């Protein structure tokens, strides 16, 4: 497709933090490869010290458009994303979890506002699209963190904690990410909003896992996110 349809963007870099996802990573790779895009793509799989055989699976997935980067030990999602950001060559950057909760079929929805010049940052909202309903406490925690974000940063996000975040790569200019764990989500959100960038939201589908299915985020991460929101609002 021509330049007009993509707003001048030429390559999507997809960062996939992976930790002990042996049972899902092959399927998420299949889905990522199957998405029809009008621009090039590169996929950067960051193995965050997996110990369940994931690393061996990833080595078999590498090809000309898929790179595998390895951490010697588990350092956390934020650290994996930082490592991925050091590797990207595209002018768009998307975060994709490896656990099948988020479906790459939604990529075109995320890309559309950027291609049309309406946004430089797009979040996929789990609360405005179809979804497998999450447990009440998970729902309440997510909504509470979004509300606090809106109060502190004068915005109206419905889903700050979404893992589907798409960026014009230039957004990261002048931003240093320090979070190692799941507090990456509030940190990047806070720093983008403090730069005066408005975040565009689109509805996505969502199939949440429970802890017995391998979900890793816990209530402790919720408190860490709350602390991060307050800290990055008032500390330069």
Q: State the total domains in the chain.
A: 1
122-139 pLDDT, tens digit each: 999 999 877 766 777 778
Nearest to 87 by CA among 17, 4, 192, 159: 17
pLDDT of residue 211: 44
Residue 81, domain member (yes or no): yes
Half-sphere exposure of 67 (CA within 13 A, CB side): 14
First to last CA, the chain: 42
pLDDT of residue 70: 97
Residue 131, domain member (yes or no): yes
- The residue written with tokens 């590498």 in the block is 62
Q: Domain with 228 in it: what CATH number?
A: 3.90.550.10
DSSP code for 63 = B
Residue 30, domain member (yes or no): yes
Residue 15, domain member (yes or no): yes
**Has this prediction a pTM greater than 0.85?**
yes
CA distance 82 to 88: 10
Residue 1, domain member (yes or no): no
Residue 220: domain span: 7-234
pLDDT of residue 152: 96
Residue 111, domain member (yes or no): yes
Residue 120, domain member (yes or no): yes
Structure token digits, residue 13: 């870099």
Structure token digits, residue 204: 């996505």
Q: Would you say 125 and 200 are in contact if contact means Cβ atoms under 8 Å apart? A: no
Residue 171, domain member (yes or no): yes
Which residues of the chain are modeled with pLDDT < 70? 1-4, 132-133, 209-221, 236
pLDDT of residue 219: 52
């Amino acid at each position: 497709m021509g330049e007009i349809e993509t707003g001048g963007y030429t390559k999507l870099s997809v960062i996939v933090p992976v930790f002990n996802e042996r049972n899902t990573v092959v399927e998420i790779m299949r889905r990522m490869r199957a998405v029809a895009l009008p621009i090039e793509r590169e996929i950067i799989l960051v193995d965050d010290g997996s110990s369940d055989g994931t690393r061996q699976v990833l080595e078999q997935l590498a090809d000309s458009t898929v790179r595998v980067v390895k951490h010697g030990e588990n350092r956390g999602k934020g650290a994996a994303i930082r490592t991925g950001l050091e590797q990207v060559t595209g002018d768009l950057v998307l975060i994709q979890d490896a656990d099948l909760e988020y479906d790459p079929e939604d990529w075109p929805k995320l890309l559309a506002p950027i291609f049309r010049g309406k946004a430089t940052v797009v979040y996929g909202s789990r609360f405005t699209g179809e979804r497998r309903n999450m447990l009440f406490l998970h729902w309440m925690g997510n909504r509470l963190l979004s509300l606090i974000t809106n109060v502190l940063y004068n915005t109206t996000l419905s889903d700050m904690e979404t893992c589907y975040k798409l960026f014009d790569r230039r957004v990261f200019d002048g931003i240093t990410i320090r979070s190692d764990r799941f507090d990456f989500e509030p940190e990047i959100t806070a720093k983008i909003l403090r730069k005066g960038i408005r975040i565009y939201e689109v509805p996505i589908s969502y199939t949440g896992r429970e802890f017995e299915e391998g979900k890793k985020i816990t209530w402790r991460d919720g408190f860490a996110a709350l602390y991060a929101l307050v800290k990055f609002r008032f500390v330069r």
